[in-house]
Amino acid sequence: MHVTEYARDSEESVLFLHGGNVAGWMWHEQALALPQHHSLVPDLPGFGASNLLPWTTLEEVVDALAEVVTERAHGGRAHVVGLSLGGVLGVLFTARYPELAKSTFVSGAAINGVKGITRALGLGQVRLWGSPLYWNGLARAFRLPGDSVAQFVVTGTGIDRSSALRMMTQVYDGLSDTDIAGLSRASFPILAVAGEREPKLVRDSLTRITDCAPGAAARLAPRMHHVWSAEDPELFHRVLLHWLTRAEASEELLPLALESPAPTP
C-alpha cells in the first residue's frame, strides 16, 4: 500500500484515511498544516497510487493499516483521522486495534450501512466511474474547490471499479455488533462527527459509536455537508487541531441532537 509521509521528525503520528471517491491527496493540505505532527497518508487499495492493489475486505485493509502504524508511526501508535470510507475504517481500526490508537476522529462514518434506493443508486453509479463527466458532476455535488476538481477527476477515472464495487458493497452492508465490540476497550478519546446537513443515517451511526465506546463524543459540523474537509477546510483544520492538541471537541461544533434539522441540498 502506497503511503505518503509528512513531517517525519515530529513526535506524534497521525494516520489519515481518505474517502471512497478520492485518494490520500485529499489530506495533503491538512497534513501540511500540521507540521507539529508526523502524518501518514495511505492510498487505500484500488485508489490513487495503490489502484493496482485490489480491494479485498474492510478487515484485511484495516489489518494492513495496522502494519503501517506498527512499522511507521512513532512509538507504534497514531491518532486516527478518517472521513466517509475513512471514517468507517477508522471505527473498525479502533475496534480491532485499540492498542495502536492514541485517539480517533471520524466524520461521516455510516457504520449502520446504507439501504434501499440510496444503496441501489450508489452501487449502480460505479459503472459510470470511467466517465470524466460523472466525476465533474460529483465534484460540484461535493462542493469541491475549483483547484482540486482536476485531480478529483483524474483520481476518480483511475479507480479500479471492481475494487470500488467490493468496497462500496461492504460499506453499505455496515459494521456488525461483533465488528465494533472492541470499541469498549478503547481507553482514549474518540470523536465522531457528521456535517449538520448530512442524512439521518449518518447521525444514527454516530449514536451507535458513542453507545459502544466509553467516553466517546458525537458532534455536528455546523452548516456542513458530507465532505466538509473540502467544503470548509479552515473549519475542519481548526476542529482537528483542537482535537489533536486538547483531546476534546471544539466549541465550534454543535451537539448531536435528535431534533437536528433535516439535511438541505
What would the pLDDT profile of 220-254 be if each residue is shown by its tens digit? 999 999 999 999 999 999 999 999 999 999 999 99
Q: Radius of gyration over alpha carbons of the chain, in Å? A: 17
As a whole number, mean pLDDT of residues 26-43 equals 96
Residue owning grid cell 458532476: 137
State the Cα–Cα distance between residues 154 and 177, nearest whole angstrom: 37
Query: Is residue 196 within 8 Å of 222, Cβ to Cβ?
Result: yes
As a whole number, mean pLDDT of residues 195-201 equals 92
Query: Is residue 29 within 8 Å of 41, Cβ to Cβ?
Result: no
- The domain ranges of the chain are 3-111+176-255
Query: Residue 9 pLDDT > 50, yes or no?
Result: yes
Provide the strand spans (E) within 67-175.
78-83, 101-107
Contact partners, residue 174, CB within 8 Å, separation at least 6 = 110, 111, 112, 113, 114
pLDDT band at 263 (very low <50, low <70, confident <90, very high): very low
Residue owning grid cell 485493509: 61
Contact partners, residue 127, CB within 8 Å, separation at least 6 = 161
Q: What class does CATH assign to 3-111+176-255?
A: alpha beta
- Exposure string (b/e) for 62-89, b if CB count within 10 Å is 16 or more? bebbbebbeebbeeebbbbbbbbbbbbb
Percentage, residues of the chain above pLDDT 70: 97
DSSP SS3 for 130:
coil
- pLDDT the model gives residue 129: 84
Question: What is the average pLDDT score of the chain?
Answer: 92
What would the pLDDT profile of 136-176 be if each residue is shown by its tens digit? 988 888 777 777 788 888 888 888 888 889 999 999 999 99
DSSP SS3 for 257:
coil
- Strands 190-195 and 101-107, how do they pair? parallel
What would the pLDDT profile of 43-60 be if each residue is shown by its tens digit? 999 998 998 999 999 999
What would the pLDDT profile of 105-141 be if each residue is shown by its tens digit? 999 999 999 999 989 988 988 888 888 998 898 888 8
Cell of 120: 441501489
pTM confidence score: 0.92
- pLDDT the model gives residue 259: 39
